[in-house]
Chain A
Amino acid sequence: MIQIKNVSKWYGNFQVLTDCSTGVAKGEVVVVCGPSGSGKSTLIKCVNALEPIQQGDIIVNGIKVNDPATDLPKLRSKVGMVFQHFELFPHMTIVENLTIAQMKVLNRGKDEARDKGMKLLERVGLKAHAQKFPGQLSGGQQQRVAIARALSMDPICMLFDEPTSALDPEMINEVLDVMVELAREGMTMMVVTHEMGFARKVANRVIFMDHGTIVEDAQKDEFFGTPRSERAQQFLSKILHH
């Protein structure tokens, strides 16, 4: 579904990604972790070309993302993305947040888009808030709306960029529950997160990044059992024991 081949990226002279190669198969859940500044968020933003790459190839659903001829809006409409800071549209109601792209990008009718939006709101337990504005919801609720918004486009895979990092601790689980449910339904997911509980529960593979390189790319049990690299062992011991 997602293939990342020898990807390198620079900001000016500063190299943020160095020769990264990995992939996400259909139905697979891959968790990407690593210390801050390791390039994991940058890598996931390259997958739907929100960030350009200078070397290598990224192929999503058979389409080369970094090919200038690629119809990026069309490709992105099939790839759901959830951001650290939710990024709901503050000038629209919750239900409008869920219908705008369906109507403008997929050309769905107003009623169809609304029905779909309401169904997804119900699924994330926020149907009662449909007419409110994003600013009136808690962080956890906003992130659940953001997931519903991404799902409203019927994506073939989902990208999560630190979806719980900006949340108060008591709100993290309500978001993770939605993500776990999605994973169990067979959604293809690439998730940048520090939530190792989530990784243990649903991930197939775990990728560990440091200084812009993929240090470890292993099956979940292998990763949590005996990480091969010392750097990953240190990282795990830091975030698992406090």
Chain B
Amino acid sequence: MLSELDFSIIPASIPFLWAGFLFSLKITVTAMVGGIILGTLLAMARLSGGPWLAAAATAYINTMRSIPLLMVIMGFFIIIPTLIGHPIGSENSALITFTVFQAAYYGEIMRAGIQSVSTGQVNASFALGMTYWQAMGHIILPQAVRNMLPLLLTQTIVLFQDTSLVYAIGAKDLFRVATNIANTEHAPVEMYLFVALIYFVICFSLSLLVKRMQKRIAIVR
């Protein structure tokens, strides 16, 4: 069976796959940066935002974490244009959806990270005359990110894999491009094997990196 496979379509597909891969990467990086920033604000709201803000942030996080990602992707694709009155395209919709969705997950990681820094550090910052934002920005968050780096990266690996779900709204990521080529060239097995290999190599090497980081952090402590 394997001998019947014809991988000759792969070289010609590379430029298209590359474009799709770049878009997958764009979603990943956008949602990672945006998600960590938004998530950090959510975590701060939960920990020190007063009862109303904390309740709102908690409700947001629980909602996002309780709905399947695929539904959120479809939902935003339909809801956003009706809210703002004009279509924004599947690609912009994907970028926004992933950012606000991932914020809920990054937010919980950052909350654990902030809590991993002792209250003594907070007191020391305040005792030196720092404001809440100065203490957060210079003392607490840098340590929180450092402590949570392996978890943040693991979440990003999951995020990269999940970008394939944007095929549902027709955004041209790596998986969508591969599917298109597989259909037109009648070579689904070859194409999917090749794309699976790409996902595997990227995610596996990233998780090796996480493992090495965990060891290094363990030594420093």
Interface residues of B in 169-220 (CB under 8 A from A): 220
A149 interface hit (Cβ, 8 Å): yes
Question: Known interface pairs A89-B139, A91-B143, A104-B138. Does A77 touch B129 (Cβ–Cβ under 8 Å)?
Answer: yes
Partner of A79, one of B118, B127, B142: B127
Q: Is A48 a contact partner of B134 (Cβ separation < 8 A)?
A: no
Interface residues of B in 121-180 (CB under 8 A from A): 121, 123-124, 126-131, 134, 138-139, 142-143, 146
- Shortest beta-carbon distance from B137 to chain A in Å: 9
Partner of B121, one of A73, A89, A104, A149: A89
- Please name all residues of chain A whose beta carbon is closer than 8 Å to the beta carbon of B123 when the two chains form the complex: 45, 50, 81, 83, 87
Of A73, A83, A88, A150, most buried by chain B (CB within 10 Å of CB) is: A73
- Shortest beta-carbon distance from B30 to chain A in Å: 27
- Please name all residues of chain A whose beta carbon is closer than 8 Å to the beta carbon of B129 when the two chains form the complex: 73-74, 76-78, 101, 105-106, 153
- Shortest beta-carbon distance from A40 to chain B in Å: 16
Q: Is B128 a contact partner of A76 (Cβ separation < 8 A)?
A: yes
Q: Is B124 a contact partner of A83 (Cβ separation < 8 A)?
A: yes
User: B127: nearest residue on chain A (CB-CB)?
Assistant: A81
A95 interface hit (Cβ, 8 Å): no
Question: Known interface pairs A89-B121, A89-B139, A91-B146. Does A101 touch B128 (Cβ–Cβ under 8 Å)?
Answer: yes
User: B128: nearest residue on chain A (CB-CB)?
Assistant: A101
Sample 16 A-B pairs with CB under 8 A, ordered by A number: A73-B126, A73-B131, A74-B129, A77-B128, A81-B127, A83-B120, A85-B120, A87-B121, A87-B124, A88-B124, A89-B143, A91-B142, A91-B143, A100-B138, A104-B130, A153-B128
9 nearest CB pairs, A to B: A77-B129, A87-B124, A101-B128, A81-B127, A105-B129, A87-B120, A76-B129, A73-B129, A73-B131
Given contacts A50-B127, A101-B130, 8 further A-B contacts (CB under 8 A): A50-B123, A73-B129, A76-B128, A79-B127, A80-B127, A83-B124, A89-B121, A150-B127
B residues contacting A by CB (< 8 A) are: 118, 120-121, 123-124, 126-131, 134, 138-139, 142-143, 146, 220
